[in-house]
Amino acid sequence: MAGASLSKMGRYDWYQNTDWNAYIEAQFLEKLGRTRKKSDYLLIQAHCLASRHPQAALDLLDKYFALGDHFLLAHAFFDQATAYATLNQIDDVIRSLRKAIAREREFPNVITSAWSEFAILVATRKLDQHFQEARGLLSEKQSSIRLLPVERFQWHAANALILAAVGDDKASQEHATKALSFAKARHSGLRYHSKLGLVGSNYEALQDRLLVLSRPPS
């Protein structure tokens, strides 16, 4: 029962629920009402729910936005995009990712992976009406991309798919080959965090598409 599980929760578990129902919501809101920094708890709880209970996450994010605490606004927009993606509301995903990206440009001290999610979404779904915007974003990020293999994979993968869609097969092949090389990385390049940012078994379907693009024309 939900009540029994909640009664055993630790001090910090009340705002990190991965399940959601009327009872859990009531308990969360009761505790939230007694806290001073409500924005932090709303954002963390929404993040935990975005992929499993998207509508609940969206409702909590609405409460977060209403508070006017905007320091982590980019994260809030990114979690909003995740929730919309779970609901398959692609136009809303695009809008939320744009808001996250705009916020990061304004306040670059708080960043998310909104740029890569936007580019990968546009590329994999062949949203050609957004190709120009995605390519501009990829160009913008080229010089500032971090060293993690997954980010380099995402950058090259998005370029490969978009270039293939617009008929530039040679450039697409080059980017696909580079993306797959980063997908094979087994070390992050970081001394103390060797497994951080590896592609691993993620993006399997995308890697299959890249494998086809990486082959020379017959």
Q: Specify the CATH architecture of the domain 114-218.
A: Alpha Horseshoe (1.25)
Look up the pTM and report it.
Answer: 0.89
| pLDDT for res 2 | 33
Is the pLDDT higher at 218 or at 183? Answer: 183
In whole angstroms, give the CA distance from residue 96 to residue 12. Answer: 28
What is the 8-class DSSP label of residue 212? H
The residues, ordered by sequence, that sit 6+ positions from 218 with a Cβ below 8 Å of its Cβ are none
Q: In the chain, what are the domain boundaries?
A: 10-112, 114-218
| pLDDT for res 218 | 67
Q: Quickly state the pLDDT bin for 85 (edges 50, 70, 90).
A: very high
Please determine, for residue 181, whether its predicted confidence score (pLDDT) is greater than 80. Answer: yes
The mean predicted confidence, pLDDT, of the chain is 92
Please determine, for residue 6, whether its predicted confidence score (pLDDT) is greater than 60. Answer: no
* DSSP E strand stretches across 17-70: none
Q: Which amino acid is at 55?
A: Q
In whole angstroms, give the CA distance from residue 113 to residue 3. Answer: 36
In whole angstroms, give the CA distance from residue 60 to residue 45. Answer: 8
Structure tokens at 211: 């494998």
